[in-house]
């Protein structure tokens, strides 16, 4: 199974809703941070290789999936797209960098910087995520102004490096239409999923 959609949007840009939507549209699983949490023993070594500057076997890691969204995959969207050149690149974003940061500082930031358990797998996963943010996003990912600047740079970088005909530029709230139009699929009758709002995230702490 090859990827049809490579997610380039950062976490907290509607990625869980997109995961559910893409699974419905594409008839197969979508890789999200949830997958890493559930399969750390199997998947974490490959992401550690990527964070360390290496080249994991993307086909082996993502071969069972039809799409990717969210971290850690979005940090390596170019490499993943390079291995799946027929895929569309999905840039998910918020209405502004400020809105994105406000969500980040209430969710991912406190989870990644908060106390860790004594579980070795939990510690190892947390260490990988922190290193990933530092090396692929910005070393100052906990700082508001630096993170907002990095977010804006990321959005501009994706737009600059993906041909318009392969890019799905999607803002949280856009619903089915931009995705279905690019993929040539009919718009489903049911409402677009809306999952993992801030309160949901804080209750679940997916990457904890």
Please report where in the chains the tokens 């700082």 appear, as a residue: 143
Yes or no: say if 69 and 19 are a contact pair by the CB < 8 Å rule. yes
pLDDT value for 196: 53
- H/E element, 103: helix 97-106
* pTM, to two decimals: 0.92
**pLDDT tens track of the chain, all 208 residues?**
689 999 999 999 999 999 999 999 999 999 999 999 999 999 999 999 999 999 999 999 999 999 999 999 999 999 999 999 999 999 999 999 999 999 999 999 999 998 877 788 889 999 999 999 999 999 999 999 999 999 999 999 999 999 999 999 999 889 999 999 999 999 999 999 987 554 444 444 444 4
Note the pLDDT of residue 21: 97
**Rounded CA separation 32/193 (Å):** 15
Q: Report the alpha-carbon distance of residue 137 to residue 151 in Å, rounded.
A: 8
Q: Please state, in angstroms and rounded to a whole number, the distance separating the CA atoms of residues 80 and 208.
A: 25
Task: State whether residue 171 is helix, strand or coil.
Answer: strand
Report domain extents, the chain.
Answer: 5-204
**Considering the domain 5-204 in this protein, what is its CATH number?**
3.40.50.300
Check residue 115 and give its pLDDT: 80
Residue 178 has a CB neighbour count (10 Å cut-off) of 14
Report the alpha-carbon angle 208-22-147, nearest 5: 45
CA angle in degrees (0–180, nearest 5) for 79-84-90: 80
């Amino acid at each position: 199974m090859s990827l049809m959609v490579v997610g380039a949007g950062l976490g907290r840009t509607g990625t869980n809703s997109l995961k559910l939507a893409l699974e419905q549209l594409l008839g197969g699983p979508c890789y999200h941070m949830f997958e890493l949490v559930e399969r750390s023993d199997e998947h974490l070594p490959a992401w550690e290789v990527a964070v360390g500057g290496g080249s994991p076997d993307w086909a082996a890691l993502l071969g069972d999936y039809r799409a990717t969204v969210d971290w850690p995959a979005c940090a390596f969207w170019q490499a993943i797209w390079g291995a799946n050149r027929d895929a569309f690149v999905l840039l998910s974003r918020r209405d502004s960098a400020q809105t994105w940061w406000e969500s980040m500082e209430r969710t991912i930031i406190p989870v990644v910087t908060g106390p860790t358990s004594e579980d070795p797998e939990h510690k190892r996963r947390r260490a990988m995520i922190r290193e990933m943010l530092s090396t692929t996003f910005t070393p100052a990912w906990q700082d508001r102004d630096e993170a907002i600047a990095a977010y804006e740079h990321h959005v501009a970088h994706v737009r600059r490096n993906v041909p318009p005909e392969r890019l799905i530029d999607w803002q949280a709230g856009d619903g089915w239409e931009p995705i279905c139009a690019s993929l040539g699929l009919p718009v489903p009758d049911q409402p677009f999923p809306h999952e993992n709002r801030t309160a949901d995230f804080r209750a679940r702490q997916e990457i904890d």
